[in-house]
Structure 1
Amino acid sequence: MLEALIFVVFPFCMVFAAVSDLLSMTIANRVAVILVVTFAVVAPLTGMDWATFGMHFAAGAAVLAVTFALFALGGMGGGDAKLLAATALYMGMDIQLVQYLVVSAFLGGLLTIAILVFRKSPLSVFVGHNLFLRNLTDAKAGIPYGIALGVGGLITYPQSPLMLWALGRLSGN
């Protein structure tokens, strides 16, 4: 049961956040809340010691402080900031957090370039009313960075401490 939560909740939240940001340019607060509450309940049940548990929350707090500052300066959306912080909780104060941030930043850069090129293309005029693409064609809509954060989370999650614990349990280690 515990392994199922580890395998399902985080990936589902990442996919939900990415699709939600694509369709509505928002990431619901409930996504971050579900991630934080699930981690807070599941991590101790995996045998994670309290010092490590605290460092995971320190990672989330550090990322939240930086992303809140970026939000206050207008450089990042509030949903993106909360999603980044909640995801940092799963990665901990370790190399996995750095990997997540680098992968997400790289994907975010590619996404931004692709959307800007797409907005200048003649194709954007024809697909501007499509439910899935309308926000990508609107120059005033911004960039749905939750897509990059969600994909970055999915790419790096298999190396996170909870996932490694769950995989070890299933393999009998």
Structure 2
Amino acid sequence: MLEAAIFVVFPFCMAFAAISDMLSMTIANRVAIVLVATFAILAPLTGMDWTTYAWHFAALFAVLLVTFALFALGGMGGGDAKLLAATALYMGMSIQLVQYLVVSAFLGGLLTIAILSFRSSALSVYTGRNLFLRNFTDAQKGVPYGIALGAGGLLAYPGSPLMVWAIGRLAGN
């Protein structure tokens, strides 16, 4: 049961955040709350020692501090900031956190270039009313960065401590 929660909750939240940001340009607070609460409950049950547990929360607060500064400066949305911090909790102060941040930044850059190119194309005129593409066509809206954060999180998650533990349990280690 514990392994199932580890395999399902984080990926579902990342996919939900990406789709939600694509459709509504918002990431609900409940996504970050579910991620933090799930980690807070599951991590001790995996045998994670308290020092490591504390370092994971230190990663959350460090990323939250930086992302909220970016939010205050207008460089990032509030939902993106909370999602980044909640995802950092799963990665901890490790190479997985660096991987997540670098991959998400790279994917976000590609996404931004693609959306800006799409907005300046003739195709955007015809797709402006499409439910899935309408936020990509509106030049007044920002970039739904939650798509990149969700994809980056899904790519980095297999190396996270909880996933490594769950895979080890299923492999019989």
Question: Into which bin does the TM-score normalised by the smaller protein fall?
Answer: over 0.9
3-state SS of 2:131 partner: coil
Counterpart residue identity of residue 55, structure 2 = M
Aligned twin of 1:105: 105
Aligned twin of 1:96: 96
After TM superposition, which residue ranges in structure 1, 4 or more long, deviate above 2 angstroms? none
Cα offset for 1:165? 0.2
Distance of 2:62 and 2:124 partners within structure 1: 39
Distance of 1:23 and 1:49 partners within structure 2: 40
Distance of 1:93 and 1:156 partners within structure 2: 13
- Counting only pairs closer than 5 Å after superposition, residues 32-47 of structure 1 correspond to structure 2 as 32-47=32-47
**Percent of residue pairs bearing the same amino acid type:** 80
- Counting only pairs closer than 5 Å after superposition, residues 150-169 of structure 1 correspond to structure 2 as 150-169=150-169
Cα offset for 1:21? 0.1
Distance of 2:19 and 2:98 partners within structure 1: 24
Q: Give a deviation string over 1:115-141, Cα, whole Å, max 9, x none.
A: 000000000000000000000000111
Aligned-residue RMSD, C-alpha: 0.2
Aligned twin of 1:68: 68
Counterpart residue identity of residue 73, structure 2 = L
Q: TM-score, normalised by structure 1?
A: 1.00
Cα offset for 1:113? 0.2
Unmatched segments (≥5 aa) in structure 1: none
Equivalent residue pairs, number: 173
3-state SS of 1:107 partner: helix
